[in-house]
């Protein structure tokens, strides 16, 4: 069974980000023990599809999330998080077509969050996280989501 181009993009982004932190996941991460931090999670948030009937292609606009998650116990978690985000942005800027002929890759938003000590009671570490959202545009032939056009 062939993979959807969207999956290929997620996997290519995860590969491009390997080495920035010890753990890179190609899915949403609900909770992580301290031993898995820092980590990056790569997953799709949404995808808009526009049909081009004359060309029998679909232009797809994927909103991809790259979550950077660290333990907030560092002396300056904001600086640590920003450092990881800078490396993610540099790595993403260096990727041209992600191996699947994407038309464009653009950072469109970054959200930053710090979790409080209330998480400790559940056995989870305090976290600092940034979600970098990338808009990735690509095309597929009509009815062939496994093939980039």
**What pLDDT does residue 32 have?**
79
Encode pLDDT of 39-54 as tens digits. Answer: 999 999 999 999 987 8
- In a domain? residue 39: yes
- 3-state DSSP percent of the chain in helix, strand and coil, to 5: 25, 40, 35
Number of domain units in the chain: 1
SS3 (DSSP) at 131: strand
- In a domain? residue 82: yes
Q: 23: which strand partners?
A: 39
Question: Range of 110's domain?
Answer: 5-141
Which pTM was predicted?
A: 0.90
Residue with tokens 């290929």: 8
SS3 (DSSP) at 143: coil
pLDDT-based confidence at residue 124 (cuts at 50, 70, 90): low
pLDDT over 60 at 119, yes or no: no
CATH number of the structural domain spanning residue 68? 3.30.70.1700
- In a domain? residue 76: yes
- In a domain? residue 73: yes
- In a domain? residue 148: no
């Amino acid at each position: 069974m062939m993979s959807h181009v969207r999956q290929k993009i997620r996997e290519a982004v995860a590969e491009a980000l390997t080495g920035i932190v010890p753990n890179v996941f190609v899915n949403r991460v609900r909770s992580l023990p301290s031993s898995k931090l820092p980590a990056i999670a790569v997953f799709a948030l949404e995808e808009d599809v526009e049909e081009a009937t004359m060309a029998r292609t679909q232009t797809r606009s994927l909103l991809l999330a790259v979550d950077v998650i660290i333990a907030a116990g560092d002396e300056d978690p904001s600086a640590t998080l920003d450092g990881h985000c800078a490396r993610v942005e540099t790595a993403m800027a260096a990727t041209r077509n992600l191996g699947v002929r994407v038309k464009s890759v653009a950072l469109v938003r970054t959200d930053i969050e710090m979790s409080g000590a209330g998480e400790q009671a559940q056995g989870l570490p305090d976290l600092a996280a940034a979600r970098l959202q990338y808009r990735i545009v690509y095309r597929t032939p009509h009815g062939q989501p496994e093939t980039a056009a």
